[in-house]
Each structure stands twice: as structure tokens, then as C-alpha cells.
Amino acid sequence: MSNLTDLTIASARAGLDAGDFSARELAAAHIAAMAEHKTLNTFITETPERALADADAADARRAAGQVASALDGVPIAMKDLFCTEGVRSTAGSHILEPFVPPYESTVSAKLKAGGSVMLGKANLDEFAMGSANITSYYGPVTNPWVAGNGDNRQRVPGGSSGGSAAAVAARIAIAATGTDTGGSIRQPASFCGIVGMKPTYGRCSRWGIVAFASSLDQAGPMTRTVEDAAIMLQVMAGHDPKDSTSAPYDTPNFSEKLRSGVKGLKIGVPREYRVDGMPAEIDSVWQQGADWLRDLGAEVVEISLPHTKYALPTYYIIAPAEASSNLARYDGVRYGLRVPGNDLKEMYENTRAEGFGAEVKRRIMIGTYVLSAGYYDAYYIKAQKVRSLILRDFTSAFEKVDAILTPTAPSAAFALGEKQDDPVQMYLNDVFTVPASMAGLPAISVPGGLSAEGLPLGLHLIGKPFDEVTLFQVAQALEDAAGFEARPAGY
Amino acid sequence: MAELLEHPKLLKGDSGEWEIVIGLEVHAQVISNAKLFSGAPIAFGAEPNTQVSLVDAAFPGMLPVLNEHCVEQAVLTGLGINGTVNKYSRFDRKNYFYADLPQGYQISQFEFPIVTGGFVDVEPEGEVPKRIGVTRLHVEQDAGKSIHDQHPTQSYIDLNRSGTALMEIVSEPDMRSGEQATAYLTKLRQVLRYLGTCDGNMDQGSMRCDINVSVRHPGDELGTRCEVKNVNSIRFVRQAIEYEARRQIRLIENGGTVVQETRLYDPSKGETRSMRSKEDAHDYRYFPDPDLLPLRLEDEYIERIRAGMPELPDAKRARFVADYGISDYDAWVMTADQDTADFFEGVVKGRDAKLATNWITGDYFAYLNREGFDVTNAPIGGQKLGGLVDLISDNTISGRIAKDVFEAMIESGKDAAAIVEEKGLVQITDTGAIEAMIDDVIAKNQDKLEQYRSGKDKLFGFFVGQVMKATQGKANPAMVNQLLKPKLDG
């Protein structure tokens, strides 16, 4: 029997089906790992009792021959942006510190119904705003990876789904949920050497997920293999009438073409992603990825996405604009933190001043500014126009190619404390992931190799809208070719 | 009848005459099964915070889903006020903080309303009819309620109303008098009630009105306007306009200038007072709600709603005049609301329309007023009234006896026919019997006969009275008149 915390979803299922171990044993092993690696701060709220109860129920179902899904009995971490019934849901913010929802988000409800075992609520950047998981009110998350060159500085796990990524990389959870607004699944996946997948906007319901930027937010799986990502998304996805932006489409079998290879597929490499000052090792892992796909029989062609350079600045108008409005509900009146004041206005000011961290305040202010009378046209309207141009770039590119290959992030995981004083430097982390977000496209980060320092680097694939099947197909080929076996030392 | 004014009276000031310019924004609560974006019910008068879903209370991660019935109601209303239903409309967020606005924004339609254009034809009191333009109709969420009088230092919040669907109907600045504004509101309310899209109860807050008022010398450019908020009765609308117009005139004539601001009407003092100036006005930071898709309507959908539209008051009134031959005034009265119109048609159909109308507008409405009933709940309903009218029409009873029968009906609740039967009130229409009665009366009043014949024509009435008295009113009055004349004349 292999180490229980080393399993994938697929191998855990096989083991459970074969009776090699029980869901309770599997849960207990992960609960132990969670306790052992507490210093990584991957969880805001741990739910070991709930996990054991979930596991017992899974064992009972399996014994009765009523396995609920491929995730039945599989221990997962739930990003603390998903509202979970009866379990505190903080969004990484002080303002929601006491908040226990009386409802379950659609995605977490599907995972629950599918029999997954919830270990706890994973740490994240406050309201999913951040790229290093350092904005959480509950403290930063530590990346289990350290450089292999004697530089022992703690590394950030990326963000905002940093707790989820670190927990999966550190073998605390077999898989985790993430949410991605501009790269919040894919960039931490790249930093932590795991697979992170953002589906097409509308594929997963947003109902019950604390909103950051409604037109961009999308839930997705974070796993150690491409196959696991496909399996997990299968359970998470589906039309939800409670979310008006949820796509009214049937969910395809995401694993259908995992073993089909890439022969005959066309893979685009966008020239505009070769940005100034890009580290050579990022360029070389990208080149390596293209070579692998070519070697496997895909045709790799250079494409142009001319408006790429406008994606990040545009994102930092639209996302804060929506956030400034979405976060208005945290006012101390009905739930969450309330800091009293002498009148209503003072109560608002005190509550929001104390309840929100600096990065959240910064984005609320940016968003409020760009929506203000006199600035709206110059910023918000302009940004929306650019957004349609970005989408048009992709639409025409996809007339020629089946998927697009880019690096996931412009660097490997940086040290805790780096880039912390320069928000723009921090925002640049998402330069490669944001364009797909703006266009609502499915995208995935797959470990491509290690940096010179021995830290993981991700490769990023972007697919056609609602064509996750092809995206997984290419990602699987890339994963096979990369043969990424490295793991953080000591995990 | 006094002549109708072509133009409303101008207000007199020291610097000449002033014209009032008025535009109205009406918020009409949509009659619906549930709120605009949540499945929560909307019963009026329910215990506080019992009609609230997680969406209405803006819990984290909650999302709006458009209630299609509310859209249908808005489309119906748009058609009813002769507007253009837009096949593309969009929901925007209007951002501001208030304790009874859980989301921190109201979902409304800013740039692309569901209905544009339209008009309402009105008949202001004492003035000629006028057409008032409608700029737009859009759909939006209502806020909750803050309750400030339950605790010395704190306010209570009731979210029952939060998220309820409203239609905001914005008029053009086409009105020039309080009478016109009143007529517009009354007519709009009547149309909404006919359509069944808003109950129009201003006292319950399901129809509310903001008034934009400015003044100018006739022919001048538009003056600076003030918005008077939340006027909750039609009577107050007129008072608020008159107060506000005079305040502005006084201000200007004393060398001041009107500042654009929002004012509140205080009905207890009959005055408006400043609420916030333009400088304090919110920057609502409108932007398209990313939680909702644009609303796209098909032609067939709009046409299907148009086909199901009820007959509206103006058309009904014209038809009543044409079909039943009643006066325009009576038709106006009978079409005041859908229930009255239905009641009227129920009574009139197949009967002498003029006779029936006289009965409805006369004794019957007097009865409703006296007893505090309306046409839908009165114990004496249309069928019973129709039965009475039938007895008059077929000469079973006279109009005079009918009044007594009607009173007996009210008292006993019995049908007219039963009462007539019971009390033996059947009209005497036998010529011989009436002639015998006349002869008897003449025989007893020879002196009066002499006087009549010597020129005192008026005594004719005396003889009629005597004959009726002798028959306890049961003689057919027309026959009495007809038979009496030749006998008196000799």
C-alpha cells in the first residue's frame, strides 16, 4: 500500500474500490498531515471531525454499493471563499471573521453530494485579492517548496488560492477547490508545482461563492494531475438556475480525450507574451513545452494576440470596479464584523476601516474612482471596449489553433516579503493569466519543470470557450511529456 | 358648466405672471408572486423581516435571478401607456450606502430601460384635455425600510420590501398646473389598476411619487428644478406643487436663485423643506450589473402580451357611449375602475341602458356610499339591481314604487320580484280601474275642477297626486296622466 497522502483522486478511488483502505483511514492520514504541517497556515478553519464524519458516510455508501461519484471518500480542501453551511466562511477577511453561512455554495454542495471529504477551509488572499497569499487576515500561507540552492527563505504559494495550492502540494489534501478571477488558480498552481484549472466562465456556478469580480470569477479544481482536475471538474460543473451567468449547457465528459494525444492538433504560441524582461528560464520552459507538443505530433504555430499588453491594465479597472460594488454589502448591518460608531455613517467607516485590509481598500478605492462621474467613460467604458478587443483576438486565433500555450507566471515563487511594497510589481504576476480571464476562456496550468533555483514553473494552456475537453487533452500530453516528478522536500 | 380653460391659470407675482413646469417620477410596485430577483413572497403588512430571502438580505455569494413575471408586467404597463417596449434592456447597479439597502446598491435600469416613450391622456379639472408624455419606464428593486421610532438611539431595519419589483415611470415635464399633475397621477393609477400591474395604493406605499417643479415666466427657458420626494397622496401632490412653486417665485422675486436640490414634503405643515443639495447628491457610480445578462425580448413575446391586454379606460368609455347610448360623463363614471365597469356591463346588458344607468348612478351608488360597500362586496349586487330594473321596464312597478322596493331589498336582502309579490305592489295598468279612480277623485273635488277649468293648470298635479294616493302609488303614472287630461278638460 502506497503512502495514503501521496494518492491522486484516481488512485485513491481505485484503492477505496479495492478495499485497500477505508475513506476513514484516508481522511485520518490527511488530518494527520494537516496537523503536522500547521505552520504552512494552509487552513483558516480546520474541520477534522466533519472530515471523519464525511469519510464514515463515504465508507457506508461504498459498502452499500452506492458510490456517489469519483470523489466519494476523497479528502479535499475548500477555499474559504466558498460559503459552507454551518462552517465559518471568512473569505480571508476580518470583516467576515464571525460569519457562519446558513447555506452551501452550489459548487461545494456538488462536491459534498459527490461524497468528497472536507478537511477544512483553505487560506486565501483577502476576498481573493492578491497573488502571493499575503493579504489574508489570517496570516500568509507558506509554500512547501524552498529553493534547492541553499536559499532557505520561505516562498509564497502564489494567490489568491494559496492555501489550496500549498495544501495539495504539501500532500495535506488530495485536491482542493480554487477560484480564479485573474489567475488565482493557475498562478499558485504554477508556484506550488501542481495542476490548476480555470474552466470557461459560466461552467461552474458562482452561487454561494463570495464575489470578487462577478464577470470574471470562476471556480475550478486544483490537483496533482491533469486527470484529477478533469475528474474533479466533472463533479463541480453544471448549469445552475440560481446563477444567471451560469451557462445552460450540458456538462461534457471532461476525461473523454485524456489519452487521445495531440497528433494533428494545432497549438498557438502568441508572440506578444514574450514580454520585456522575461527571465530566460521562463522563456526556456515555454520553448520546452512547445517542443514537447511538437514532438508528440502537434503543429505549433506562432499567433498574434495584439491587445495582450492592454489586458492587465484593463483588468485592474474592471475587477476593482466590480469589487467596489460587490463589497459594499459588508457594512456591519446584518452579519459579520460590526464596529460601533455614533451614527450610521461612523459605524460604516469604523467597520470597513477595521474589517478590510490594505489591498482590499486599495481595490475598492480604485474601483470607486473608475466608476465615478467624469471618469467612468475614460476608464470603465474604455476598459470594456478593450475587453471585447481581447476576446476578438482570441476568437480569431482560435480559428487557426486548438489551444494556446504560454507560461503561467513570469517567475517562480518569490520569497515572502518580496514585491510586497509595490502593488504594480505584484499585479504583474498575473500578466499571462489575465487575458484568458478577460475573455472568459478555460485555461490550465501544468507543472513544466523547475527553475534554476529548483522551484516549480508552470505551463499555461488556453482553450476555446466550453472546450475543456480539448484543453485537458493537450494538458495531459504536456504532463506526460514533462514527467514532472519533483516534490517539495519533506512532503 | 363652466368653460374649460385652454391654458391653466398662471401664478401672479410682483414681476408678472409665472408658469409652473412639472414632471413626475412615479414608483409603482409591481403586482407579482415574488420579488424582482429572489423567490421571496411579498405580502403587505407581514411581520417585519419575514418576507426576506438570503438574496434580499445580500448575504455573501447570493445572486439575483430575474423574475420573468415582473418583466411581463412591465411590458404590459409599457404597452398600456403607449410606450415602445425595447427588445434590448439592461440592469445596472446604482451604488450608495444605506442601512436598508443590503447590497449597497440598487439594481435598476439606467442606460437601457425596458420601455421608452409613451403618453397618458388626461382631463384636468377645469381645463381642456391634455396629452402628457412619458419619457421612460424602467424596472428596479425597492429598498427595505428604516424604522427610527422604536428605540431611543438605534434604528430598526425591516427588509420585507427589500428587493420588491418597482416600475419607475418618468413623465416629460409636460404639466403646467397641480390639476394636470393630479389628473396625470389619477389616470396613470387607473391604467395600472386596469392592467393589474400595480394596485396603486398610495397610502400603503405601493405607488409613490417624486415631483420635479420649476417656475418661469411664460416663454422663458426652463427654470432650475427642485425635486420633491415621497409625496404619498394625490391631494398632497397638488399641495406640494403649489407650495413649492410659490416658494420658488418668492425666492426669485426677492433676488434669490433656485438651487437644484431634493426637498421633502411635510404634509402636517403643508410645506417642502430641503433634504440635500446638488453638491451633496450621491455619485451613484452606475455600471451594468455583472450578475445579470442583458434582457432581450422577442417580438412574439411582446405581441403575445399585447394580445392579452385588457380594454383600457379610454376605449371602454368610448365603447360604453357607443354601445349603450349613455352620456360621456356617465361612461366616465362607469369606467372609473375595472370593477365598476364590469358591474355596469353586467347590469346594463340586455336592459334599458339609460334606465339602468340612472339607477346605478342614483339610488345604487347612494346606497353603496351610505352603507360603505363597493360594487364587489355589496349584498345587493348587480343581479338583484338588474331584477329591479326589469320590473320597471316591463311596467310591473313604477319608478316611484321601485324606490320603495329598493329600500325593502336593502332591508331584507330579498329579490325585487319577491318584495313586489309579497307587498302587492304590482302596478295598476288596467284602464278601467284607473278611470274609475279618476272619476271618483274628480267627483270629490268639484271645486278644484272649477278652478282648473278656469285656468289654474297647475292643479293638474293635484289630481295626479290624489289618484296616486288613492292607489297607494300603484297606478301607472303615465297612464294616469294620459287618462286624467281629457276628463279634466271635459
Predicted confidence (pLDDT) per residue in A224-276, tens digit: 999 999 999 999 999 999 999 999 999 999 999 999 999 999 999 999 999 88
Mutation target vs B (from A333, A347, A351, A370; most B CBs, 10 A cutoff): A333
> A471: distance to nearest CA of chain B, Å?
26
| Helices B446-453 and B431-444, axial angle in degrees (round to 10) | 90
Selecting from B104, B155, B283 the residue whose C-beta is nearest the C-beta of A373 gives: B283
- Asked if the C-beta of B478 comes within 8 angstroms of chain A's C-beta atoms, the answer is no
Identify the bridge partners of residue B140 per DSSP, sorted by sequence position.
Answer: B166
Exactly one of A136, A184, A255, A437 is catalytic; which is it? A184
Beta bridge partners of B331: none
pLDDT at A27 over 90: yes
- pLDDT the model gives residue B8: 86
Over residues A332-352, mean pLDDT: 96
**Angular region, A277: left φ>0, alpha ψ -120 to 50, beta rest:** left
How high is the pLDDT of residue B103? 97
Q: Using CB atoms within 10 Å of the CB of residue A277, give its burial: 0 to 12 exposed, 13 to 18 middle, 19+ buried.
A: exposed
Active site residue A464: no
What's the CA gap between B223 and B214, in Å, rounded? 5
Average pLDDT over residues A211-219: 98
SS3 A372: coil
Main-chain dihedrals φ then ψ at residue B280, nearest 5 degrees: -85, -5
Contact of B147 with chain A, judged by CB distance below 8 Å, is answered with: no
User: Which chain A residues contact residue B105 at CB under 8 A?
Assistant: 325, 328
Q: Which helix (H) or strand (E) holds A404?
A: strand A403-407
What local confidence, expressed as pLDDT, does residue B230 receive?
A: 79
B164 burial (CB, 10 Å; 0-12 / 13-18 / 19+) is: buried
A69 as an active site residue: the answer is no
Pairing of β B261-266 and β B226-231: parallel
CB-CB under 8 Å, A211 with B61: yes
Which long-range CB contacts under 8 A does A352-357 form with residues at least 24 apart? A352/A95, A354/A94, A355/A93, A355/A94, A355/A95, A355/A330, A356/A93, A356/A94, A356/A95, A356/A126, A356/A327, A356/A330, A357/A93, A357/A94, A357/A126, A357/A135, A357/A137
pTM equals 0.91
Encode pLDDT of A420-458 as tens digits.
778 888 888 999 999 999 999 999 999 999 999 999 999
Which of B60, B95, B283 lies at the smallest CB-CB distance from A210?
A: B60
Compute the nearest-CA separation of B202 from chain A (Å). 29
Which of A326, A345, A376 would you mutate first to test chain B, the one with the most B CBs within 10 A? Answer: A326
Long-range contacts of A278-286 (CB under 8 A, 24+ apart): A278/A407, A278/A410, A279/A410, A279/A411, A281/A412, A281/A451, A281/A452, A281/A457, A282/A407, A282/A409, A282/A410, A282/A411, A282/A457, A283/A407, A285/A407, A285/A448, A285/A449, A285/A457, A285/A459, A286/A405, A286/A406, A286/A407, A286/A448, A286/A459
B281 touches chain A (CB under 8 A): no
Say if residue A159's pLDDT is above 70: yes
Task: Give residue-wise pLDDT tens across range A367-394.
Answer: 999 999 999 999 999 999 999 999 999 9
For A311, residues 6+ apart whose C-beta sits below 8 A from its C-beta are A386, A390, A431, A434, A435, A438
User: Is A242 an active-site residue?
Assistant: no
Neighbours of A33 (CB within 10 A): 21
The three-state secondary structure class of A425 is helix
Nearest CA in chain B to A213: B290
CA-nearest residue to A323 within chain B is B290
Annotate A389-401 with DSSP letters as a single string. Answer: HHHHHHHHHTTT-
DSSP reduced 3-state for B166: strand
Mean pLDDT per 10-residue interval, chain B, length 490 residues: 80 93 97 93 88 96 97 98 98 96 97 98 95 98 92 91 97 97 97 97 93 96 93 93 96 94 92 82 93 98 97 97 95 95 95 94 95 94 95 88 93 92 83 90 91 89 90 86 88
Q: How far B60 CA lies from chain A's nearest CA (Å)? A: 5
Angle at B348 between CA B347 and CA B352, to 5 degrees: 125
Is residue A222 very low, low, confident or very high in pLDDT (cuts 50, 70, 90)? very high
Residue type, A57: A
Q: What is the pLDDT of residue B180?
A: 97
Q: Which chain B residues have a beta carbon less than 8 Å from that of A104? A: none
State whether B283 and A321 contact (CB < 8 Å): no
CA distance B346 to B351: 10
Q: Note the pLDDT of residue B279.
A: 67
Q: Which of A99, A204, A322, A329 is the best residue to mutate to test the B interface, defined by the most B CB atoms within 10 Å of its own CB?
A: A329
Nearest 5 degrees, angle CA A234-CA A238-CA A239?
175
Nearest CA in chain A to B100: A333
Alpha carbons A291 and A275: distance in angstroms, whole number: 20
Chain Cα centroid distance, residue A328: 24
Q: Is B129 near chain A, with CB under 8 Å?
A: no
User: Dmax of chain B from CA atoms?
Assistant: 100
> Which residue, among B138, B127, B117, has the nearest Cα to B181 in the 3D structure?
B127
d(CA A418, CA A155): 9
Which of A441, A3, A488, A472 lies closest to A225, judged by CA? A472
**Residue A221: is its pLDDT beyond 80?**
yes
pLDDT tens, position by position, B372-407: 999 999 999 999 999 999 999 988 888 888 999 999
The alpha carbon dihedral of A20, A25, A31, A36 has a sign of: negative
Are A241 and B61 a contacting pair at CB < 8 A? no
How is residue B126 written as a grid cell? 377645469
In this predicted structure, what is the pLDDT of residue A278? Answer: 86
Contact A123, A192 (CB under 8 A): no
Tell if the CB–CB gap between A208 and B62 is shorter than 8 Å. yes
Task: Choose, out of B287, B295, B296, the residue to mutate when testing the contact with A (most A CBs < 10 Å).
Answer: B287
Contact A91 B54 (CB under 8 A): no
CA atoms within 13 A on the CB side of B14: 8
Binary contact (A325, B105; C-beta < 8 A): yes
Cα B237 from Cα A374, distance rounded (Å): 34
- Is the pLDDT at A2 greater than 60, yes or no? no
pLDDT of A345 over the 50 cut: yes
Is B87's Cβ below 8 Å from some Cβ in A?
A: no
Q: Could you identify the residue written with the cell 500568509?
A: A140
Candidates B328, B378, B380; CA nearest to B357 is B328
CA A388 to chain B, closest CA, distance in angstroms equals: 15
CA separation for the pair A152, A165 (Å, rounded): 20
CA distance B310 to B170: 23
Length of chain A: 491
- The per-residue pLDDT for A1 is 41
